[in-house]
Amino acid sequence: MFKRLLNLGFAKQTESHISKPEGEYAGCYFVNGRLIIHTVSKTTAGIALAENPTIVPIGDRQAIGSAVLQALSVSGTNTTDAIGGISQFAPFLKAAGVRSYKAFMTDAICLDIEKRDNNFTISRWENEGARNGFAPSSERPCELTDPTIDLLGAYILYALGLTNCEAVLAAMGGIDPTATLPPRNRSDIS
């Protein structure tokens, strides 16, 4: 997607992002035992802004898939420039049930979700702490074409490491997903 420089809640646009065609973007955090889905919008200054955090029940794949689709559907609609600062990230701290960015980053797991037409790409980011934010992971992104809501929710949980591939297989109706699952979890495929 684009380089995530998540420092107090927003990412700076990079040259590689400028040349990419427009898509719909959302993000997901698992922090402090909570699953938070959010929208990613681009401001008039070209800054990708994470906003509208929503807490979603972890065990409900349908709710997760629906929340992701909702976040994607409203992405890209923010045209005002962000002011930045801690106030920009305050809704995320509240959703996570923590009081500081440092506490948020203690155990946060981050995913970016990109949708172009009916193709979804789910990318995991490495947590490098409060000082450095998130960095791109070396893991291959998950790719889905026209998934059901249940399958999208299952893949989100799988990419976060909160479920095994059996849940994804169940959501796919028993189809072997080895071609698209990230290599880090292929050992749990029988």
| Residue-wise DSSP of 15-26 | HHHHTSPP-EEE
**Cβ neighbours of residue 146 closer than 8 Å, sequence gap 6 or more:** 118, 119
Q: What is the predicted pLDDT for the residue at 120?
A: 94
End-to-end CA, the chain = 31
Q: Hey, where are the domains in the chain?
A: 10-188
Q: What is the predicted pLDDT for the residue at 106?
A: 93
Q: What is the predicted pLDDT for the residue at 14?
A: 35
Q: What is the predicted pLDDT for the residue at 19?
A: 31
Amino acid (one-letter) located at 142? C
Q: Strands 34-42 and 119-127, how do they pair?
A: unpaired
Nearest to 147 by CA among 50, 28, 66: 66
Nearest to 109 by CA among 21, 184, 189, 190: 184
**Cβ atoms < 10 Å from Cβ of 184:** 14
The reply to whether CATH 3.40.1590.10 applies to domain 10-188 is: yes
Is residue 6 within 8 Å of 111, Cβ to Cβ? no
Question: Could you list the pLDDT tens digit for every one of the 190 residues in the chain?
Answer: 344 433 334 443 333 333 334 789 999 999 999 999 999 887 777 777 888 999 999 989 999 999 999 999 988 765 566 565 557 788 999 999 999 999 999 999 999 999 998 899 999 999 999 999 999 888 889 889 999 999 999 899 988 988 877 667 666 665 554 445 554 443 433 3
